[in-house]
Chains A and B, each alone.
Chain A
Amino acid sequence: SQQGEEDPQALSIQEGENATMNCSYKTSINNLQWYRQNSGRGLVHLILIRSNEREKHSGRLRVTLDTSKKSSSLLITASRAADTASYFCAEESRGSTLGRLYFGRGTQLTVWP
């Protein structure tokens, strides 16, 4: 299976703290993406990092990519209760049909007020 894996499976923190989620993948990639899913909703794209990039920022989100270790991390700074959701990484593998993504199992983040 090409499915990536997020770590930890679940994370519980207080508002204001930083949340770090990790993703490991198995193939050579064109890009790696992070998505968020609120309970009962569809996935929402957060950020994309290309294989030749090492770090990317978007608001309170910071994503890093280490292609030598086939891993990525998502950092949410100064977390809020509204950040409570599941977070998924998805890899677009080099050589796969353009646009096809392989999603991990997700990290369930709970942010307590």
Chain B
Amino acid sequence: DARVTQTPRHKVTEMGQEVTMRCQPILGHNTVFWYRQTMMQGLELLAYFRNRAPLDDSGMPKDRFSAEMPDATLATLKIQPSEPRDSAVYFCAAGTGGLETQYFGPGTRLLVL
């Protein structure tokens, strides 16, 4: 059945390293959201795309985070350089724009030491 996939599911890295997280949205779902979830802040929207174009990335620290959608089947979120405070679960979610429901991936659990 169609679902959003994310890789890797878990990532442990050292401070200063580059982290790349990938998301494959559901085919035909043209809106992709990146969220970060922590105990302290809850679920925060980092960025989102429609038809591969960025609509809003105001929730994302621009100096170290970047989000792209090189094609309709792949969205990426990069952190360079990573910091311990980036430790969180990062979720990708997909929507169709016309329908309001969002379909979440399983998340990437990131730990920066």
**Are the CB atoms of A100 and B56 closer together than 8 Å?**
yes
The interface residues of chain B lying within 8 Å CB-to-CB of A106 are 42
**Are the CB atoms of B104 and A30 closer together than 8 Å?**
no
A108 shortest CB reach to chain B, Å: 11
- For residues 14 through 60 of chain A, which have their beta carbon under 8 Å from a beta carbon of chain B? 30-31, 33, 35, 41-45, 48
A100 shortest CB reach to chain B, Å: 7
With A99-B31, A99-B97 as known contacts, state yes or no: A42 contacts B104, CB within 8 Å. yes
Among residues of A, the one whose C-beta sits closest to the C-beta of B95 is: A99
Give the contacting residue for A103; candidates B43, B48, B55; CB below 8 A.
B43
The interface residues of chain A lying within 8 Å CB-to-CB of B104 are 35, 42-44
B15-43 vs A: 1/0 string, CB under 8 Å?
A: 00000000000000001000100000011
Give the contacting residue for A45; candidates B50, B91, B102, B107; CB below 8 A.
B102
List A residues at the B interface (Cβ < 8 Å). 3, 30-31, 33, 35, 41-45, 48, 88, 92, 97-106
**16 further A-B pairs in the complex, CB-CB below 8 A; given A41-B106, A43-B43:** A33-B100, A42-B91, A42-B93, A42-B105, A42-B106, A42-B107, A43-B102, A92-B100, A97-B55, A99-B48, A99-B102, A100-B45, A100-B56, A101-B102, A103-B42, A103-B43
